[in-house]
Structure formats: C-alpha cells, structure tokens
Amino acid sequence: MATSATTAKTKAAKTTARRTRRTGRRDPLAITLLKADHREVDAWFDEYEQLEADAEKLALFNKIALALKVHTRIEEEIFYPEVRGAVEDDMLDEAYVEHDGAKKLIAEIEAMQPSEEYYDAKVKVLGEYIKHHVKEEEQPGGIFAQAKKGDEDLDAMGERMKARKEELMAEMAKPKAN
C-alpha cells in the first residue's frame, strides 16, 4: 500500500517538474512585454465590470484606451513588421484588421459618456474583442509561437519596444489642449 502511495507522489512530482520546466522557460523580452500588456488590460476589463460610478468607469476606460493604443502602435511599428516572414501572412493581416476594429470601437467609446446608452455594452464588446485577439496571438501555433521560431532577436526587439512604449506613454498621456 505504501508503495502505490509513493508511486503516486513520484508521478505527481514528475508531472509538476515537467510542467514547471516547460512553462518556466523564459519568453524572449518582446513576447514577455506584449503578454504583460495583455494581462494588465484583461484585469482592467474585469475590474470595469465591477464599477458603478460613471467617473470611475470613465477613468478606467481612459487607462484601457491608452494602454491599447500604445500596445497596438508598438505591435504595428515594430513587432509585426519584424516578424513578418516568420509568422504566416494571413495571421498578421488578420491582426492588423483586428487592431483597426478595436481602434474604431475605442474612438466610438471615447466620443461618449458613461451615462449614455450602450457605453457599458461597447466597453464589454471591446473587452471580448481584445480577448479574442490575445488568444490568436498567444495560442499554440499563434503569432507569438511562430515568431519565437523565426530568426529575429526578440530580446533586442523587446528593448526597442520597451523604449518606444515609454515614448508613446509620455506622448499620448499628455492632456490635450483645447
């Protein structure tokens, strides 16, 4: 009896070790940065669902919108062009179209007030749209997986992306003069 319990524990330990080894492998910096953006925005969409006050909804949506605008710019200016060739053209083309759809929905929401009809519904749809896009990028065989198999130095690219993100955040976070 003790042997089967020991065997079960050993099997569990091996499974855990294997899982840790596989997922513990460090993603290159470019992918790490993009995934971190995905997690942050996903958490904000979840947080938005809990809000009731219009001022809080507006403030959080503005954070989401800024993060998404910066993220899409970095992907479109640096990541997507540099991984083209390693990643299937159709996947990248779809990603650009998904970005365009998200940008249009963000602009619609920005033109509204949280008290207006459909504001919350549009934010929810944007969140679902982004979740779909993230899945396309992160799934096995998706954009990130294909990019990792390419010849690009994704750590050096990550450094460029990090610097560009800082520039864009500073530039786009400035209040607009009327």
Residue 149 has pLDDT above 60, yes or no: yes
Q: Say if residues 155 and 30 touch (Cβ distance below 8 Å).
A: yes
Q: Say if residues 133 and 98 touch (Cβ distance below 8 Å).
A: yes
Residue 174 has pLDDT above 90, yes or no: no
The two three-digit tokens of residue 64, written as one number: 């989401």
82 confidence band (pLDDT: 50, 70, 90): very high
pLDDT tens digit sequence for 85-144: 999 999 999 999 999 999 999 999 999 999 999 999 999 999 999 999 999 999 999 999
63 confidence band (pLDDT: 50, 70, 90): very high
Q: What are phi and psi of 139, to 5 degrees?
A: -65, 155
Q: Which pLDDT does position 176 carry in this prediction?
A: 59
Which residues fall within 8 angstroms of residue 49, CB to CB, at 6 or more apart?
124
Which CA distances in Å does 163 have to 9, 114, 160? Answer: 47, 33, 5
Q: Of 83, 107, 117, whose CA–CA distance to 91 is shortest?
A: 83
Q: Of 27, 103, 112, whose CA–CA distance to 71 is shortest?
A: 103
3-state SS of the chain: helix, strand, coil percent to 5?
80, 0, 20
Phi and psi based region of residue 18 (left: phi greater than 0; alpha: psi -120 to 50; beta: remaining): alpha
pLDDT tens digit sequence for 20-41: 344 556 899 999 999 999 999 9
Residue 56 has pLDDT above 60, yes or no: yes
